[in-house]
């Protein structure tokens, strides 16, 4: 999709800022709501969003809600029935009919986190519909989203409608397939130039990866990446190493707590070559990190749902916004830096040497297992051949 000028984009930091903005937008909806989410929990946050969506549907707003068939497979039946009775159109992307199927298509999930209200106010980011608190005593989950007004919403509406119609067609919901033309977004509410980038399994298989590669290869001064699940393939890995070796400052903030153990340990295989090239690595330890963002040369930034790992880059449907704006980029960069200084620990070359032999072997074994699984599925053979 092309770059669009004249957008107003605000950075939302974690659920603390995102959910009040989303709930207010739903409450003010007049004609149409689209909501996509990978996870949707029946906790306090999920109940609030559900109540607002049902109220909107009862007052005549057309509410289209698409959840992932794996991520939200445990959504209680009673909650589903309440939504449908209220008039919410609820669908699941690739519903899970068999938990033990070996079909590799099960890996193709809908990982996007998007909302669009009346075609005039949009949200794109990495925040699912669930409470920010993972465990007592930990900081709220660390994540980002963008609130958007302006021409970029034309593209956002396009990908939402396309995915919605595909799901309606595949699940025989013909009566939900027809959608009226949405109101046009405000023509120039701001001055941010931005692009919506999607990753799918059709014409946009490598779109998000290509955006990262282009920006990293063009970097002159600084690359700052904050990504919860970081296991880049060879192309991205070589681009990051090449940038560091030509003198670009590269700072990477990663998840420090074990969330998904296999990916957690496999990522650590990359520490030694990255550190040797001069890359700064920090691990976020205050709580669980879910961010998927980057800032390059103080002006290019991306916020979205895509991790830099095989799942996001090779199989899942994702959506990221890329923007060129100094003010927005600085706000994101400063917030990442704040978390690095307050909530993270630096990783040095000595870090691995102080561990026991089996702890040093575990990352290598995890990485080989990831490669083996990718080989079995047929995904990533070229990018993860080393």
What residues act catalytically?
111, 113, 118, 290, 292, 297
**For residues 291 and 270, what is the distance between their CA atoms, to the nearest angstrom?**
19
**For residues 3 and 194, what is the distance between their CA atoms, to the nearest angstrom?**
5
**For residues 151 and 352, what is the distance between their CA atoms, to the nearest angstrom?**
48
**For residues 239 and 215, what is the distance between their CA atoms, to the nearest angstrom?**
10
The total of other beta-carbon atoms located within 10 Å of residue 100's CB is: 4
Between CA 259 and CA 262, with CA 260 as vertex, the angle to 5 degrees is: 140
Burial (CB count <10 Å: 0-12, 13-18, 19+), residue 28: exposed
- Of all helices (H) and strands (E), which one includes residue 55? helix 44-58
Nearest to 137 by CA among 343, 286, 338, 340: 286
Nearest to 109 by CA among 314, 355, 292: 314
- Of all helices (H) and strands (E), which one includes residue 363? helix 357-377
Angstrom distances, CA of residue 229 to CA of 56, 57, 195, 338: 35, 36, 23, 20
> Which residues fall within 8 angstroms of residue 59, CB to CB, at 6 or more apart?
none
Q: 292 — phi, psi (to 5°)? A: -140, 75
């Amino acid at each position: 999709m092309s770059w669009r000028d004249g957008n107003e984009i605000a950075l939302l930091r974690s659920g603390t800022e995102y959910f009040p903005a989303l709930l207010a937008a739903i409450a003010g909806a007049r004609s149409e709501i689209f909501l996509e989410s990978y996870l949707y929990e029946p906790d306090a946050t999920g109940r609030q969003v559900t109540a607002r969506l049902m109220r909107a549907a009862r007052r005549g707003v057309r509410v289209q809600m698409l959840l992932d068939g794996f991520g939200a497979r445990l959504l209680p039946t009673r909650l589903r029935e309440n939504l449908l009775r209220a008039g919410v159109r609820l669908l699941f992307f690739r519903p899970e009919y068999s938990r033990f199927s070996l079909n590799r298509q099960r890996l193709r999930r809908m990982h996007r986190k998007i909302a669009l209200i009346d075609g005039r106010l949009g949200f794109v980011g990495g925040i699912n519909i669930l409470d920010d608190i993972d465990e007592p005593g930990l900081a709220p989950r660390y994540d980002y989203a963008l609130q958007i007004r302006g021409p970029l919403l034309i593209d956002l509406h396009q990908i939402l409608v396309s995915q919605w119609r595909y799901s309606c067609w595949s699940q025989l919901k013909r009566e939900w397939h027809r959608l009226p033309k949405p109101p046009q977004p405000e023509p120039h509410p701001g001055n941010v130039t931005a692009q919506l980038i999607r990753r799918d399994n059709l014409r946009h298989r490598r779109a998000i990866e290509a955006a990262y590669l282009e920006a990293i290869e063009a970097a002159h001064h600084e690359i700052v990446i904050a990504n919860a699940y970081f296991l880049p393939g060879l192309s991205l890995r070589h681009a990051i190493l090449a940038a560091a070796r030509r003198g670009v400052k590269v700072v990477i903030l990663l998840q420090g707590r074990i969330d998904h153990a296999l990916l957690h340990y496999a990522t650590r295989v990359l520490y030694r070559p990255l550190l040797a090239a001069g890359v700064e690595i920090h691990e976020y330890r205050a709580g669980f990190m879910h961010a998927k963002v980057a800032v390059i040369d103080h002006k290019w930034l991306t916020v979205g749902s895509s991790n830099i790992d095989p799942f996001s880059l090779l199989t899942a449907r994702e959506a990221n916004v890329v923007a060129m704006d100094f003010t927005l980029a600085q706000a994101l960069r400063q917030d990442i830096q704040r978390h690095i200084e307050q909530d993270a620990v630096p990783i040095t070359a000595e870090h691995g040497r102080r561990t026991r032999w089996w702890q040093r072997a575990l990352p290598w074994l995890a990485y080989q297992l990831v490669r083996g699984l990718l080989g079995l599925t047929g995904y990533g053979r070229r990018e993860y051949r080393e």
